[in-house]
């Protein structure tokens, strides 16, 4: 069920601001940075309603709001857009595809580096078929995100990445039927965006491209870039 237009606009702005700044978002911040939402008091009232509806929460007393899993899910399902990736990102990907067209292992390894660099997320390619291989890169860059100052979360994320094959396999098996989008988003303690391309009859090998990061990851940017990559795989 969709929210009304004003709630959607404020939820959308709150999530985008939180993804960008990694800080709880106040009604005053939205009032300053966006137009058309009314006064700070009006925005505060709508944010409170979104809080009560389970889309936002208040991490600390007298602080702004941050998205819940439900809020992120609503954003992914209704508010984010599949965008064409920036030209420099597309150029990097196309150069790798041309350079290693007939060398799958080198191709997948280089693609993981390009994706990780462009998204600042752990990114990878898993092959699924006659053989199962996983290529991944980018843990060091992601660990600089503010969420991972918390030691427990950093350790949990490192363990999660070490065992990412199982998570991607589950996503693929559960999501490959009836998924109308070119990407699949999973939101839990961490965020995952994945996209896959099935091989032809002779190849028989599915290539699953994925990016993993904190729950506050830029799902829109990741989905657009992963969707672009799988067009060529």
CA pair distance 95, 227, nearest whole angstrom: 17
Q: Which of 5-9, 16-20, 125-129, 198-202 has the lowest mean pLDDT?
A: 198-202
216 and 116 in a single domain? The answer is yes
124 and 195 in a single domain? The answer is yes
In angstroms and rounded to an integer, the radius of gyration of the C-alpha atoms of the chain is 19
Pairing of β 206-214 and β 56-57: unpaired
Q: How many CB atoms lie within 10 A of CB 25?
A: 25
Beta bridge partners of 213: 191
CATH of the domain at 23: 1.10.10.10
Residues 129-139: pLDDT tens digits? 878 899 999 99
pLDDT tier, 62 (very low <50, low <70, confident <90, very high otherwise) = low
Beta bridge partners of 136: 124
172 and 220 in a single domain? The answer is yes
pLDDT tier, 1 (very low <50, low <70, confident <90, very high otherwise) = confident
CATH of the domain at 110: 3.30.450.40
More confident residue, 145 or 32: 145
Q: Look up residue 53 and give its two tokens.
A: 């509806």
In angstroms, what CA-CA distances link 98 with 93, 111, 203, 204? Answer: 9, 12, 19, 22
DSSP letter string over 93-112? HHHHHHHTTT-HHHHHHHHH
Per-residue pLDDT averaged across 187-204, rounded? 82
Q: What is the pTM of this model?
A: 0.91
Domain carrying residue 97: 87-230
123 three-state secondary structure: strand
Tell me how many degrees the CA angle 161-214-91 measures, rounded to the nearest 5. 80
Question: Is the distance from CB of 190 to CB of 184 less than 8 angstroms?
Answer: no
Answer yes or no: is pLDDT of 179 > 60. Answer: no
161 and 66 in a single domain? The answer is no
> Where a domain ends, among 25, 46, 79?
79
Per-residue pLDDT averaged across 79-105, rounded? 90
pLDDT tier, 65 (very low <50, low <70, confident <90, very high otherwise) = very high
In angstroms, what CA-CA distances link 7 with 33, 37, 72, 140, 183? Answer: 17, 10, 14, 37, 26
Query: How many domains does one find in the chain?
Result: 2
109 and 194 in a single domain? The answer is yes
Residues 148-174: pLDDT tens digits? 999 999 999 999 999 999 999 999 888
Answer yes or no: is pLDDT of 233 > 70. Answer: yes
Answer yes or no: is pLDDT of 72 > 80. Answer: yes
């Amino acid at each position: 069920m969709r929210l009304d237009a004003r709630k959607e606009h404020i939820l959308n702005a709150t999530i985008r601001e939180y993804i960008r700044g990694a800080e709880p978002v106040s009604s005053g911040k939205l009032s300053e940075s966006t137009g058309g939402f009314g006064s700070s008091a009006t925005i505060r009232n709508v944010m409170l309603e979104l809080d009560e509806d389970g889309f936002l929460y208040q991490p600390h007393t007298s602080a702004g709001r941050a998205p819940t899993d439900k809020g992120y899910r609503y954003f992914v399902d209704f508010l984010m857009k599949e965008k064409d990736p920036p030209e420099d990102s597309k150029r990097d990907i196309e150069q790798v595809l041309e350079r290693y067209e007939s060398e799958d292992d080198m191709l997948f390894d280089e693609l993981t580096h390009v994706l990780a660099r462009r998204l600042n997320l752990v990114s990878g390619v898993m092959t699924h078929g006659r053989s199962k291989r996983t290529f991944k890169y980018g843990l060091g860059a992601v660990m600089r995100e503010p969420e991972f100052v918390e030691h427990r979360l950093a350790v949990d994320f490192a363990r999660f990445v070490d065992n990412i094959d199982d998570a991607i396999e589950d996503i693929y098996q559960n999501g490959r039927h009836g998924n109308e989008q070119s990407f699949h988003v999973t939101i839990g303690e961490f965020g995952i965006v994945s996209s896959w391309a099935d091989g032809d009859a002779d190849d028989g090998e599915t290539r699953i491209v994925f990016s993993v990061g904190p729950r506050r990851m830029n799902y829109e940017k990741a989905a657009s870039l992963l969707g672009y990559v799988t067009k060529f795989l």
